[in-house]
């Protein structure tokens, strides 16, 4: 038990140290993140995730008693990481839409996404532990999660257009009722004080929307990871590792992600597959290696198909007022 807690504390300390290094050293001054820098950071986060996975496999990370157990844990980590990484494609789409809608200047985009990721990590952690507790306490929750995944996959297939309408978003409307919104970003600040009144800037509104969108996507992604494993350490670490690289992934792929328009169908197929796997778990347990192969195959085929059959349109819309003076 003490050993387990040490690994938990060590992982959290590692994450905090990397985030402090990212914000306090490499991005201490606000600047536009170029593609080369984004690709380097994406490679760093992927390398760290694979190194962590190798550490589990070799028995250097985690308190797994036997070789078979740690090998299975490593396979589950990689499967959950790959699945979460692929499902993050929707987040990248939404990030691009929100930053475009509010005309967030490139030098402030990293700051907004950084704090968005920090909040997402805390929110996801709470949802993961709640989901695991529910699965252990009520077996029937597994069928509920499976149904949610299948419903989410079918919904993606039936509606390919990603719509963002901040004017109708409940969280944004609530913020505007509590505090007034300033007219511009005020050099990248989230809050300002004007005439003895505290105000939020449009950057804070973007941050709220990023958190809201991650909450929506987590409803699908967390049950999907729980279908792979119910080991809290594997679920949490794989999810965190995937989210940590999401910000750099946006800057690396933001300009080309729209080319993979059929990726939406691939993500839908992955959700349906994992949902069926969860529903059938009491009758037939799909081996983790087979699930990993299926997820990787669906992901690769959808990307290759996107290149062979270019889109007729982007499939992305923003419900933006025509009278707005901000440029897309």
**DSSP of 203-244, one letter per residue?**
HHHHHHHHHHHHHHHHHHHHHHHHHH---HHHHHHHHHHHHH
What's the pLDDT score for residue 23? 66
Q: Does position 317 have pLDDT exceeding 70, yes or no?
A: no
Output phi, psi for 210, to 5 deg. -65, -45
**Predicted pLDDT at 307:** 80
* C-alpha angle 23-213-279 in degrees, rounded to nearest 5: 115
Name beta bridge partners: 311: none
Task: Give the whole-angstrom CA distance, residue 317 versus residue 311.
Answer: 15
Mean pLDDT of 171-198: 73
Query: How many other CB atoms sit within 10 Å of the CB of residue 19?
Result: 15
Least confident of 135-144, 168-177, 272-281: 168-177
Q: Is 23 helix (H, G, I), strand (E, B) or coil?
A: helix
Q: Are 224 and 120 in contact (CB under 8 A)?
A: no
Where in the chain are the domains? 2-318
* Dist CA 175 CA 204 (whole Å): 9
pTM equals 0.78
Question: Which residue from 94, 110, 104, 100 is spatially nearest to 211, judged by alpha carbons?
Answer: 94
**Percentage of the chain lying above the pLDDT 90 cut:** 8
Extract the runs of DSSP E, i.e. beta strands, from the chain: 162-164, 191-194, 197-200, 316-318
Choose among 207, 199, 45, 188: nearest CA to 118: 207
């Amino acid at each position: 038990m003490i050993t387990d807690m040490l690994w938990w504390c060590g992982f959290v300390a590692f994450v905090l140290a990397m985030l402090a290094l990212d914000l306090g050293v490499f991005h201490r001054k606000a600047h536009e993140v170029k593609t080369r820098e984004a690709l380097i950071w994406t490679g760093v986060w992927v390398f760290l995730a694979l190194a962590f996975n190798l550490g589990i496999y070799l028995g250097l990370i985690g308190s797994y008693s036997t070789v078979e157990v740690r090998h299975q844990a490593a396979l589950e980590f990689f499967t959950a990481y790959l699945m979460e990484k692929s499902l993050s494609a929707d987040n990248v789409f939404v990030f691009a839409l929100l930053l475009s809608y509010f005309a967030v200047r490139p030098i402030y985009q990293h700051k907004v996404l950084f704090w968005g990721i920090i909040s997402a990590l805390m929110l996801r952690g709470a949802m993961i532990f709640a989901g695991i507790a529910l699965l252990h306490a009520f077996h029937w929750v597994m069928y509920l999660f499976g149904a949610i995944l299948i419903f989410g996959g079918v919904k993606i297939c039936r509606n390919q257009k990603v719509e963002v309408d901040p004017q109708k978003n409940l969280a944004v409307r609530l913020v505007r009722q509590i505090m007034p919104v300033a007219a511009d970003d005020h050099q990248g600040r989230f809050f300002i004080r004007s005439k003895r009144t505290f105000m939020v800037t449009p950057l804070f509104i973007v941050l709220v929307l990023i958190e809201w969108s991650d909450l929506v996507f987590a409803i699908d992604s967390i049950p999907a990871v729980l279908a792979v494993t119910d080991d809290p350490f594997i679920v949490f670490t794989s999810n965190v590792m995937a989210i940590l690289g999401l910000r750099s992934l946006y800057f690396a792929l933001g300009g080309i992600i729209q080319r993979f328009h059929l990726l939406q169908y691939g993500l839908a197929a992955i959700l349906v597959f994992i949902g069926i796997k969860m529903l059938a778990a009491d009758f037939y347990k799909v081996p983790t290696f087979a699930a990993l192969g299926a997820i990787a195959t669906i992901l690769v085929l959808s990307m290759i198909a996107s290149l062979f059959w270019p889109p007729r349109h982007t499939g992305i819309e923003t419900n933006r007022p025509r009278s707005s003076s901000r440029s897309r």
